[in-house]
Amino acid sequence: MSDGPAGRGWDWLVQEARDARFTLIGEEHGVAETAQLSAAIFKALRGSGYSRMAIELSPIIAQDIEAAARRKGLQGILDFYASPDTWSPMYLREEAQFIASVVDAAPTNERVLWGFDREIFSDRYLIARLEPRVPQRARESFTRLKEASTKSWAQREKNPGPPFLFTQDPAIASDVRSAWPNPDRDSDTILRTLEESLAINAVARTGTAWDSSERRAQWMRNAFATRLKEERGSPKVMMKFGYNHMIRGANYVNIFDLGAMPDEAAALSGGRAFHILVLPGPGSRQAVLGPGRSFVSVSSDEFDEFQTGDQRLTRVLSNANAAGHEVIDLRALRPLAMRGLEGWNPDVVRTIHGYDAAVIWKGAHASVS
């Protein structure tokens, strides 16, 4: 990837993506080559009308990272990542390079980055962004919110545990919104993000993992629908999220996630979506969360997020005899993946119908912080 992607597989991916209204990259996180490929695809698609990139960050964080990139390029993003009050599992150097490349290639007078996800760790940053705008009537409830966040992080420094957004009742943010009926756009987005992030995580504590994932998926789907309604015209959009979010139809835990929407949205105007699965194959490494704000490099051959053992996609999709990276047209397999396939890996069947293409790296590298 040092000289950029090339070859028949690359040419085919670009042509299919150019002809689509939406292109979705479903990734295994923490792989350097995937960020590089995504940047190259967006650059190649700019001439065919692609002008928006949706990423796995909360709305205001994505907005402010774009602003940092427009001020100082890659260094602006890295400086933002280094702020003590904001952090995300996506704060990796190759991800910063990917975003910098996207912003550089996009129109200068339009917002290119769309953030659709909940917030995990950046409550202090969002609360600080909110503070100068809070009206007098909402000051009391805002103070309770700020003090709860501050106290939670102080306790976490002494005794590591779940962050603020995983421990509090959503009412602590809802009270601020109730006392502030007509906030400006950014303040409204921040308040809704805090409230819904708390609600998603509260469901995880009181319900099931499925309930929490379903609520998170609905938050992202609503964010996508809102952005489409706000846009003038019909911009072409690329998305880059974890592969469980980008699959067409029900995902690997039977939730209709964000990836289920673009095909239907495109079909309303006669278009389509193109879904690309990108996974590390044999001999690859990837970055996973370490202690604190750190990442560690692990073997992709051993990493098993969904606990599926030898049936996991990173093992069964790759061709052990392939000489290099692979590009697979999954659509050609669909006539074979019909009913009555009790002996087939169900995740493979779901992947064949939910993704149009698969890119499998050989000897990929872990992203670095």
What mean pLDDT comes out for the span 276-299? Answer: 94
Within 10 angstroms of residue 361's Cβ, the number of other Cβ atoms is 27
In this prediction, residue 340 has a pLDDT band, given cuts at 50, 70 and 90, of: low
Confidence of residue 339 (pLDDT cuts 50, 70, 90): low
**52 and 181 share one domain:** no
Query: Taking residues 132-143, what's their average pLDDT?
Result: 98
Average pLDDT over residues 226-252: 95
Indicate if 342 and 193 belong to the same structural domain: no
What pLDDT does residue 353 have?
95
Instruction: Indicate whether 229 belongs to any domain.
Output: no
- Pair 263, 340 in one domain: yes
**Is the model's pLDDT at 322 over the cut of 90?**
no
Residues 204 and 264 in one domain: no
Mean pLDDT to the nearest integer, 4-20 = 95
Instruction: Mark whether 65 and 133 lie in a shared domain.
Output: no
- Pick from 57, 172, 75: which is nearest to 121 by CA? 57
Mean pLDDT throughout 10-22? 98
Buried b (16+ CB within 10 A) or exposed e, 268-303: eeebebbbbbbbbbbebbbbbeeeeeebeeeebeeb
| Token pair 């690859």: residue | 284
Q: What is the pLDDT of residue 341?
A: 65
State residue 159's pLDDT score.
87
Q: Return the pLDDT at 206.
A: 87
- For residues 364 and 286, is the Cβ–Cβ distance under 8 A? yes
Dihedral through CA 278, CA 281, CA 287, CA 291, nearest 10? 120
Domain co-membership, 130 together with 106: no
Same domain membership, residue 203 and residue 338: no
| Secondary structure E strands in 262-325 | 273-280, 285-289, 295-299
Task: Report the mean per-residue pLDDT for the chain.
Answer: 94
Two structure tokens written together for 127? 């609360």
Q: Distances from the Cα of 333 to the Cαs of 84, 141, 163, in angstroms?
A: 48, 56, 44
Give the residue from 149, 178, 212 where a domain finishes. 212
Look-up of token digits 């949205």: 265
Co-location of 112 and 128 in the same domain: no
The answer as to whether 272 is a domain residue is yes
Question: Which CATH number characterizes residue 93's domain?
Answer: 3.40.50
Q: Where residue 314 falls among pLDDT bands split at 50, 70, 90?
A: confident
**Residues 17 and 109 grouped into a single domain:** yes
Q: How far is the C-alpha of 187 from the C-alpha of 128, rounded, in Å?
A: 11
Q: Where are the alpha helices (H) located in 19-138, listed in sequence order?
A: 32-45, 59-81, 93-105, 123-130
Could you say which DSSP state residue 359 is in? Answer: E
Where in the sequence is the domain holding 166, given as residue range(s)? 123-212
342 and 290 inside one domain: yes
Report yes or no on 201 lying in a domain: yes
Shared domain for 357 and 264, answered yes or no, is yes
3-state secondary structure of 80: helix
Give a yes or no: residue 230 inside a domain. Answer: no
pLDDT in tens, 30-58: 999 999 999 999 999 999 999 999 999 99
Kindly state the tokens that stand for 50.
Answer: 């692609």
The mean pLDDT of 233-240, rounded to a whole number, is: 94
Owner of token pair 């994932």: 213
**pLDDT at residue 360 above 80?**
yes
- Residue 310 has a pLDDT of 76
Q: Decide if pLDDT at 81 tops 90.
A: yes
Q: Concatenate the DSSP letters of all residues of 207-251 into one string.
A: S-HHHHHHHHHHHHHHHHHHHHHHSSS--EEEEEEEHHHH-SSB-
The rounded distance, in Å, linking the Cα atoms of 320 and 160 is 42
Structural domain contains residue 305: yes
> What confidence category does residue 336 fall into, taking pLDDT thresholds of 50, 70 and 90?
confident
Question: How sure is the predictor about 321, in pLDDT bands with cuts at 50, 70 and 90?
Answer: confident
Q: Is residue 2 situated within a structural domain?
A: no
pLDDT, residue 1, reads 58
- Is the predicted pLDDT of residue 21 greater than 90, yes or no? yes
- pLDDT confidence bin for 357, thresholds 50/70/90: very high
Which pLDDT band, with edges at 50, 70 and 90, does 111 fall under? very high
Q: Are residues 109 and 156 in the same domain?
A: no
Q: What is the pLDDT of residue 207?
A: 84
- Number of domains comprising the chain: 2
* Residue 152 predicted with pLDDT over 80: yes
Which residue's entry shows tokens 């690329």? 238
DSSP 3-state of 297:
strand
> How much is the pLDDT for 19?
97
What are the C-alpha distances in Å from 112 to residues 27, 70, 95, 102, 276? 20, 11, 16, 8, 21
Residue 227, domain member (yes or no): no
Residue 226 covered by a domain: no
Report pTM: 0.95
